[in-house]
């Protein structure tokens, strides 16, 4: 989904460079249409969230209707416990990877040969990869799991009378 939206953004940017005089050269007065790019991104994000949203909403309903209240309660407990653990690992792991890169850039780490390894070293290159993975973990995936837990609990508890 991300690559499809990125492709649409690239097409839009090229269109604006082609149709808005002076934009590509950076001339004064040439203004890009930022709202169009934001609109493309927003529509793509909302379309990508439809299926996960439906799954998150329908799972407690299906479990409650088919397997009744005990199963719905079990799903809620298991989902909450595993979700909190997963979100905690994602938030803390992402932050740790981010801080590891900052630490190596600021102070460096001791290599196996006893030499201090800082920016540009193999350790720094590895920490940049870790930071690339860690940023989405702590900024998007971890908080999204928190939202999923709240949604699961809300739907299950609101509809609980139907499952008895």
Range 78-90 average pLDDT:
96
Range 128-133 average pLDDT:
93
Domain count, the chain: 1
The dihedral over CA atoms of 113, 118, 124, 125, expressed in degrees to the nearest 10, equals: -90
Whether 41 maps to a domain, the answer reads: no
- Residue range of the domain that includes 126: 54-163
Range 110-116 average pLDDT:
83
Range 55-79 average pLDDT:
96
- CA separation (Å) from 147 to 45, 151, 154? 16, 6, 11
Global pTM?
0.74
Whether 49 maps to a domain, the answer reads: no
Instruction: Report the C-alpha gap between 21 and 32 in whole angstroms.
Output: 10
Predicted pLDDT of residue 54: 95
């Amino acid at each position: 989904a991300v690559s499809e939206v990125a492709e649409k953004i690239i097409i839009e940017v090229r269109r604006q460079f082609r149709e808005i005089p002076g934009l590509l050269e950076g001339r004064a007065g040439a203004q890009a249409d930022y709202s169009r790019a934001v609109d493309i991104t927003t529509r793509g994000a909302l379309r990508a969230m439809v299926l996960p949203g439906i799954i998150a909403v329908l799972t407690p309903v299906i479990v409650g209707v088919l397997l009744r209240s005990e199963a719905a309660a079990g799903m809620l407990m298991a989902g909450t416990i595993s979700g909190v653990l997963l979100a905690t690992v994602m938030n803390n792991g992402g932050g740790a990877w981010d801080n590891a890169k900052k630490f190596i850039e600021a102070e460096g780490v001791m290599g196996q040969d006893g030499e201090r390894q800082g920016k540009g070293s193999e350790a720094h290159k590895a920490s940049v990869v870790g930071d690339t993975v860690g940023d989405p973990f702590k900024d998007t995936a971890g908080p999204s799991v928190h939202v999923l837990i709240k949604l699961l609990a809300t739907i299950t508890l609101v509809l609980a009378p139907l499952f008895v």
